[in-house]
Amino acid sequence: MARGGVNKAIVQIARDALIARGVNPSINAVRVELGNTGSMTTIARYLGELGKAEPLPKERRERLSEELTGLVGQLLDRLLEEGAQEVSEARAELDKHRASVNEQLAQTQAALADLQRQHDNLQAALDIQAGEMSTCQSSLQSELTRNARLSQSCADLEIRIHEKDQQIRSLEEKHLHARDALEHYRTAVKDQREQEQRRHEGQLQQIQVEHRQLQQTLSVKQDELSRLNRDNERLLSDSRQQARMLTTQHDTIEKLTGELNVLAIASAREEGAKEQLFVQLSLSREESASLRESVIQAETRAQSAQALLESTQNEVEQLRHKLKQSQHDVLIK
């Protein structure tokens, strides 16, 4: 760029030096002579002005006095010396400025390269972080979906277990009623059998003929009563066994309930336990269904036993009536 030291005198000195060496004083040549300083426009303007101010013809210069020629020569030498010195200083300053600019440029390029490396590292780290964030978001969404599904499954399972508890309680109540009824029937039949046997023994001592017939009949009825007693005892044993099975089933369901609570807390880590629990619950359902059928069969057998007891009681009443009638006949005779 143009410097403050480039003026018309310096341009003229450079032009005259080029002319003295036999070189055409063009704009580029003059700028090179000045150390590549100065504006092209300024140099062209000064060269134009110098071209217009051509020196006087040789004839007139010779007519100048020697003193004026000497003064002009001294002035020209001084101008050339000062111009050369200024050009040298300008070149030195230009070289210094160029070195400073080159150093700053190198530092700037190094800093830019460092910043570029930092930018690349940050961009790579950002890409990795974005990938990890996307993976975490996907995993979180999957976990939320699975937890919601497990929570719903646990809630449904708790409802089913509650319903199963109610059914088991109802079965237990029915079983208790059936067992009480069986105990009552068995006690009544036993008491009645003992009373009838004592009464029959007293009556059979008085009536020998009818005793044999009635003894045979009573033996048959006693066999039936014994068989009925054995059936009742067997039903009672079955009922007790079913009660124990119901108690075991209730304990199993309570255990399953506890496991379900643990499963609700650690559902994400207890997938296998949940599947095993479902299998156990299915088995419990099958066992409950089997127990329900057993209880129904026991109730059916109890009803049959009750009907048989009623029939036996009617027959015993008829026998008692016959014994009384026979005893009355004997007393009359």
pLDDT the model gives residue 73: 66
Q: Is residue 256 part of a domain?
A: yes
Classify residue 167: in a domain, yes or no.
yes
Domain assignment of residue 254, yes or no: yes
Q: How far apart are CA 188 and CA 199, in angstroms?
A: 16
Q: In terms of residue numbers, what domain contains 277?
A: 148-332
Residue 315, judged by CB atoms within 10 A of its CB (0-12, 13-18, 19+), counts as middle
Residue 23 falls within a domain, yes or no? no
3-state secondary structure of 270: coil
**What is the rounded distance in angstroms from the CA atom of residue 241 to the CA atom of residue 295?**
11
215 domain-assigned: yes
Is there a domain that residue 71 lies in?
no
Q: What is the pLDDT of residue 65?
A: 57
Residue 97 inside a domain? The answer is no
What CATH number should be reported for the domain holding residue 282? 1.20.140
Mean pLDDT of successive 10-residue stretches along the chain, which has 333 residues: 66 89 87 86 87 55 57 72 74 80 82 86 87 83 84 81 81 78 78 77 72 72 73 73 74 72 66 73 80 82 82 83 77 69
Domain count, the chain: 1
Query: What's the pTM?
Result: 0.25
Asked if 18 and 33 touch (Cβ cutoff 8 Å), the reply is yes
Residue 327 to residues 199, 304, 333, Cα–Cα distance (Å): 12, 34, 10
Count of CB atoms situated within 10 Å of the CB of 246: 21
**Dihedral angle over CA of 189, 195, 196, 198, nearest 10:** 140
- 202 in any annotated domain: yes
Q: What is the pLDDT of residue 218?
A: 65
